[in-house]
Amino acid sequence: MTKILTVYYSRKGENYFGGSIRSIRTGNTERLAGYIQKAVGGNLFELETVREYAKNYHQCTEEAMAEKKSNARPALKKLPDSIADYDVIFLGYPNWWGTAPMAVFTFLDSFDFAGKKIVPFCTNEGSGLGTSVRDIKKECPAAEVAEGLAVRGSDAESSEAKTAAWAKRSIQ
């Protein structure tokens, strides 16, 4: 039986939705992570940074760009105890500046993914997966990195069926 872990980083509060800023209580990526867990089971783990990003969306994007430019690895509040027992790791994040947030790379740097299947999914407002899949493959060369799923954040709430079908295909 396949053991599944869904790990995600998500932004609550101010988010960009097709030209405007809206405040949301549940992050778009968090919503997708919930759909995945509901569809294929397994455990769910949220990545949270020690230092919170600015509540203001535009300030947050500036902080994210500075982290990307410096290839930062922001500290996380906690990590899973181990990934040894998992076969498949769904990895979710918003697309920040063309790739995953640097906090996701902190997670990837923290474990040996040899022999694991990483299944990336991201939310965005038009930039798709960007270079994130390539970047994950570079970070975890001994892992199998599956085809990713990109969902517009503004469509996240209505994407349960699409996300569930993709998640089920991804573990076959």
- Name residue 45's amino acid: F
Cα angle for residues 36, 162, 115 (degrees, 5° grid):
45
What is the reported pLDDT for 19?
86
Looking at residue 15, its amino acid is N
pLDDT digits (tens, 9 = 90+) for 105-160: 999 999 999 999 999 999 999 899 999 999 999 999 999 999 999 999 999 999 99
- The pTM assigned to this predicted structure is 0.97
19-77 residue pLDDT tens: 899 999 999 999 999 999 999 999 999 999 999 999 999 999 999 999 999 999 999 99
Domains of the chain: 4-170 (3.40.50.360)
Angle at the Cα of 85 from the Cα atoms of 93 and 100, rounded to 5 degrees: 15
What is the predicted pLDDT for the residue at 74?
Answer: 98
Residues 6+ apart with CB under 8 A from 142: 112, 113, 114, 115
